[in-house]
A and B are shown apart, each in its own frame.
Chain A
């Protein structure tokens, strides 16, 4: 687990067919570089499925959306999968409002479901 300035933690778990990054704390323009580094490092391993778990974030702004959209683009271009966990709080509400929840593979789309 890496703690960074501005209070973003990234917890990483991996098994042969998936790599999951759980982001905790705050994701905004101050902490985006850290998150991008972590995501880039994960992408470099070319996992068949990369999961970005944003459900543990205390705060996220449009920066978080940018992170997901960029990761989605990388995955699409490489023919791999990207999935997200959005939880059911502010993060999910923001993705809903932006009208993109339906365009992402959301693992915790239904209440209580964990995949």
Chain B
């Protein structure tokens, strides 16, 4: 069918798509007299209306390529029905050309919707169907979904966008049996589908072909061609329609594979993006930042690509505190801050971060139901404000380390319209695990810092005692400034009073190695020196006791040794008398005026050999003279200019003539640090005593 008209001007009452294309008529309600040129066709319409006798206009050339035929004009009430009967002679050729065209177009179609449209328009036109609909069926689904329908406006077809499969209906039968259903006229309709016949026939569709869309044994849907007039589907026509259906089915299968591949690629890309994201997150967790700052930056990272909102809560004692909330729009963050200030969060709210942080059980909310907002709102204003956040979907995962929940990570989707599902739990869980581990490391770091600080106070004097007539300065510097809080080195300096004998003990020691083991030896040395000095032993004897104590402690293992410079200092009216022993330690430096003397005293390192060679050496310091004891971190310092070395040290100390003990100590420490570009290779300990001038 092409069109049905009414009245003398042939106003279009019904128009098929094909009619619109062939007649150039725009739409219903417009007179054909205005849209078709005067000539044979218009004359035929007028004649039929006047006489009430049907006629045919043979050999009519129509604008669509490959279509020619005999136009039948039949009187209908006060109007006419136009119907095209393709030329029998040209049928084969036209169909072959049309089939070719359809194949080409389908090969370019990528989506099921495009394929449905091409089938319902091009294929329908090709076979002269008045209406056509293509349906797709998802794997084993009981419902077919219309991809496209095309036909008389207002006909039955347009009402069925979803059709439930139901045995005993023509399309369902075609789909379920895999065999086409051919209904050539109203009689066959009534015979085979008595229930359906009245509906279909009353719509003016007399003949129908329902063809299943199948590729191998995969059932992809169906295509239905309908005709206004009875139609004998002869074997050629059946074969042709089945070929069209097969073409359509193959295109759908290709589209399905394409979509599956596309989806797989998208999934792979998403997975890759998430891996990249996790890598970024874990490198962030290793950054030298405070825990709070790391978590804040993690929140900022999350809102750059994973969620619209991110929040982190931490368990602190009996309370759960929000550490950060992040959104790309700072105004929204300010809004939440204000909201939580006005309405402090309820610690017992179900499914919230606080509950998850306590319970350690994650919560996924694909949809944030309004009832939840209503239930958690304190009053109408509060409800309005939380609704304004536009939360659509949320996921809350605990930060769990070694079975203990330290907090919760909350991600919320709002304006992006994205949605979290249970499948996201793995990824968000990994993210939370990264954050939790960093928290745990931070806790361990904190603990290590405490241990280091405790040990260091056991190793180094918090302040040096006041020695009348003498000023003392001690310095210790770990290899890297970042390590100041956690490094436990093996270097030691100390000044200790032997009140009974009116003497002062000076010690600088360097235990080989670092870490807790070295620290334990350093502590052993310090306490042994204190004890033996208290017993009134001379320096060489003190070192022998230290040596013996270390050997006992190490059980004969030679891996750990120490070098020490140790002196007993007595202050008298003329200055200071020093008795010094050196156990394998770098030589002491004496500064007299601007003159530098080396105090080379041979001696054996301590902690290795039961018999050590140690001698006391006496030396006097006059007012203004200074004695510098140091560890090999000074002379062994290496920089771009080579070794720091003893000559450079001597020159440096000479240049500090007249300086105070503190100035000398700082001068040496600064020079050594600068020499190595700010980064020490080894730790450094210094002790300077200067007789007041």
Residues of B within 8 A of A97 (CB): 584-587
Selecting from B123-131, B422-430, B555-563, the interface stretch reads B555-563
Instruction: Tell me if A62 counts as interface (CB < 8 A to partner B).
Output: yes
Residues of B within 8 A of A59 (CB): 638
* Contact indicator per residue, chain A 74-115, by CB within 8 Å of chain B (1) or not (0): 000000000000000010000001111001000000000000
Picked from B559, B587, B604, B638, the residue with its CB within 8 Å of the CB of A100 is: B604
Instruction: Tell me if B418 counts as interface (CB < 8 A to partner A).
Output: no
| CB-CB under 8 A for A65 and B512, given A59-B638, A73-B557, A99-B613 | yes
Residue of A nearest to B563 (CB): A98
Please, how many angstroms separate the alpha-carbon atoms of A90 and B189 in the complex? Answer: 110
Please state if B512 and A62 are interface contacts (CB–CB under 8 Å): yes
Tell me the smallest distance from the CB of A59 to a CB of chain B, in Å: 7
| Chain A residues with a Cβ closer than 8 Å to the other chain, count | 18
Instruction: Tell me if A61 counts as interface (CB < 8 A to partner B).
Output: yes
Residues of B within 8 A of A29 (CB): 513
Tell me the smallest distance from the CB of B563 to a CB of chain A, in Å: 6
Picked from B512, B586, B602, B643, the residue with its CB within 8 Å of the CB of A99 is: B602
Tell me the smallest distance from the CB of B295 to a CB of chain A, in Å: 34
Please state if A66 and B584 are interface contacts (CB–CB under 8 Å): no
Interface residues of A in 59-74 (CB under 8 A from B): 59, 61-63, 65-66, 69-70, 72-73
Please state if A99 and B583 are interface contacts (CB–CB under 8 Å): yes
Please state if B563 and A73 are interface contacts (CB–CB under 8 Å): no
Picked from A61, A69, A90, A99, the residue with its CB within 8 Å of the CB of B559 is: A69
Tell me the smallest distance from the CB of B83 to a CB of chain A, in Å: 90
Residues of A within 8 A of B609 (CB): 100, 103
Q: Which of A62, A72, A99 has the most CB of B within 10 A?
A: A99
Picked from A28, A70, A90, A99, the residue with its CB within 8 Å of the CB of B584 is: A99
Please state if A62 and B558 are interface contacts (CB–CB under 8 Å): no
Please state if B513 and A61 are interface contacts (CB–CB under 8 Å): no
Residues of B within 8 A of A72 (CB): 558
Residue of B nearest to A71 (CB): B558
Instruction: Tell me if B668 counts as interface (CB < 8 A to partner A).
Output: no
Instruction: Tell me if B149 counts as interface (CB < 8 A to partner A).
Output: no
Please, how many angstroms separate the alpha-carbon atoms of A100 and B560 in the complex? Answer: 14
Tell me the smallest distance from the CB of B461 to a CB of chain A, in Å: 24
Please, how many angstroms separate the alpha-carbon atoms of A61 and B643 in the complex? Answer: 12
Instruction: Tell me if B116 counts as interface (CB < 8 A to partner A).
Output: no
Tell me the smallest distance from the CB of A76 to a CB of chain B, in Å: 9
Residue of A nearest to B560 (CB): A66
Please, how many angstroms separate the alpha-carbon atoms of A72 and B558 in the complex? Answer: 9
| CB-CB under 8 A for A99 and B605, given A59-B638, A62-B512, A65-B512 | yes
Q: Is the interface of B mostly helix, strand, loop or mixed?
A: loop
Chain B interface size, under 10 / 10 to 19 / 20 to 34 / 35 or more: 20 to 34
Please, how many angstroms separate the alpha-carbon atoms of A102 and B559 in the complex? Answer: 19
Residue of B nearest to A96 (CB): B602
Picked from B513, B586, B636, B638, the residue with its CB within 8 Å of the CB of A66 is: B513
Tell me the smallest distance from the CB of B162 to a CB of chain A, in Å: 68
Please, how many angstroms separate the alpha-carbon atoms of A61 and B300 in the complex? Answer: 46
Please, how many angstroms separate the alpha-carbon atoms of A26 and B613 in the complex? Answer: 30
Please, how many angstroms separate the alpha-carbon atoms of A64 and B557 in the complex? Answer: 16
Please, how many angstroms separate the alpha-carbon atoms of A100 and B613 in the complex? Answer: 10
Tell me the smallest distance from the CB of B483 to a CB of chain A, in Å: 14
Please state if B604 and A69 are interface contacts (CB–CB under 8 Å): no
Please state if A98 and B558 are interface contacts (CB–CB under 8 Å): no
Tell me the smallest distance from the CB of B584 to a CB of chain A, in Å: 4
* Contact indicator per residue, chain A 21-56, by CB within 8 Å of chain B (1) or not (0): 000000011000000000000000000000000000
Tell me the smallest distance from the CB of B560 to a CB of chain A, in Å: 8
Please, how many angstroms separate the alpha-carbon atoms of A73 and B638 in the complex? Answer: 31
Please state if A61 and B632 are interface contacts (CB–CB under 8 Å): yes
Residues of A within 8 A of B638 (CB): 59
* Contact indicator per residue, chain B 623-651, by CB within 8 Å of chain A (1) or not (0): 00000000010001010000100000000
Please state if B561 and A66 are interface contacts (CB–CB under 8 Å): yes
Residues of B within 8 A of A100 (CB): 584, 604-605, 608-609
Residues of A within 8 A of B513 (CB): 29, 66
Please, how many angstroms separate the alpha-carbon atoms of A98 and B558 in the complex? Answer: 14
Residues of A within 8 A of B613 (CB): 99
Instruction: Tell me if B212 counts as interface (CB < 8 A to partner A).
Output: no
Instruction: Tell me if B682 counts as interface (CB < 8 A to partner A).
Output: yes
Please, how many angstroms separate the alpha-carbon atoms of A98 and B605 in the complex? Answer: 5
Residue of B nearest to A99 (CB): B604
Tell me the smallest distance from the CB of B603 to a CB of chain A, in Å: 5
Please state if B512 and A66 are interface contacts (CB–CB under 8 Å): yes
17 A-B pairs besides A29-B513, A69-B559, A100-B584 with CB distance below 8 A are A59-B638, A61-B632, A62-B512, A62-B632, A65-B561, A66-B513, A69-B561, A70-B558, A72-B558, A97-B584, A97-B587, A99-B583, A99-B584, A99-B604, A99-B612, A100-B604, A100-B609
Measuring CB to CB, which residues of chain B are less than 8 angstroms from any residue of chain A?
Answer: 510, 512-513, 556-561, 563, 583-587, 602-605, 608-609, 612-613, 632, 636, 638, 643, 681-682
Which 3 pairs from chain A and chain B are nearest by CB? Answer: A99-B604, A98-B584, A69-B558
7 A-B contacts (beta carbon < 8 Å) = A59-B638, A63-B512, A69-B559, A73-B556, A97-B585, A98-B563, A100-B604
